[in-house]
Structure 1
Amino acid sequence: MIDLHYAATPNGLKLRLYLEETGLAHRIVPVKLSAGEQFAPQFLAISPNNKIPAILDHAPADGGAPLPVFESGAILLYLARKTGLLWPQGERAQLQATQWLFWQMAGLGPMAGQAGHFRAHAPEAVPYAIDRYTREAARLYGVLDRRLHGREFVAGDELSIADIACYPWVVPHAGLGHDLSATPDLQRWFDRIRARPATQRAYAGVEDPYAKPANFTQAERQTLFGQGAQG
């Protein structure tokens, strides 16, 4: 059994999607970010960076005590290597999946997240930041579009954790100022993943976080965005 500490953000949805695709036994533990539940001591014991998602694996491969894992990319890699599910066969294929997983973690996620923040969550418009991050998100969508040309999935012929990592950051493309018709191979892949039953289950009732300007209270904004070195 896996406890998934979760909120319906793109990073949280990576793990929700992985667990739906694989059918691994799990329990959803909601974390209400705007209420500050990510700062609770019991959550920080699992995720010291006070971010979701995080898991607690009650049946680790070594047979030891329940194992906490934080950071969405690390969790995907851990579960894929442990179970072999959505993990390609062969060293070269595994390297492809790992490279694109790291690409998403280092590039697509952070840049799209900043674009979304300045477009929908910032208390005031910052034109330079909006332009900078919107353009970079579009560039990265272009990189993914070219990667998918002639391929069914990001790492090759089979669905893998690379697709699971990238898809939730393509879902909010419209709120990030990107029209998928400009990237037709990305559009094709996106439509295929969206139609999968596991994706339908994972995204049931989930709203695009960047589709409209956020209406945070001052207290919620401080909780979500105002933390410094001292927490």
Structure 2
Amino acid sequence: MPKEQVHLHWASTNKQQPCFCNPEIYLNVTKLKATPETIAAIFGVKEPETIELKERENGKIIALEEGEQPVWQLEPDCHYDVHVAGCKDSLAPAVPINQIFSLFPGDTDDEKSDNIQKLSENFYGKIWNDKETPKEFQDRFISLTSSASIQAFRQYDWFHEVFGGPSMMGSSNPRKSILLPKVMAKHTSSRMTREYAITWLEIMDKSVNEEFPNEETLQAALKLYWIHFFGWFPYSDEDRREFRRIVWK
């Protein structure tokens, strides 16, 4: 493991709530600042201000350096526990990422898989055909493939695996994901601008609401996952607050 990374552990005292992602996260502090916004995004915590970091070895609270962008100064290759204070509403729903598949409507795995595919087809259908989609964003996505259906299947492929679908996509453990390196490699800085991220979230929010209007638990889990995914990219705290505003409006 690179020396510039720190170990972040989901504290077992967090209202007995299972961790939304992997219970141990390696954070490269040269690429991502250890701010409440970033750590909340990664761990699926709705309210960043409720997060507290402690040294894993002795329980010492790490002081948050205040400023325009509050940050914890963490020592590379050291271990820290992520604690969440306050009400349980600040935590993720009691469904980890790799169990979100179970929340999709359907009595069988095939029916649940079909609903994931419908979500992706709805999303990419909007990118290809919705006149309200910004042209620059549309051109960026259309240039990657020959059709909406191909791109939708690629997204479905990813969602099916990371949400814990049947083994046709490999391991349901996000840490062992076979698609993760490929997905992350495709999301270059030129594609992950603030503007593109906002457009992506707005379109996906519409698609989720259209496909699953009455599935509140599923919607909440998906919203947390979108924020979690963007958590791995070097956005500012202001950007992350805007992302949260869009999904939790």
When normalised by structure 1's length, the TM-score is 0.34
When normalised by structure 2's length, the TM-score is 0.32
Q: Quick check: which one's helix share is greater?
A: 1
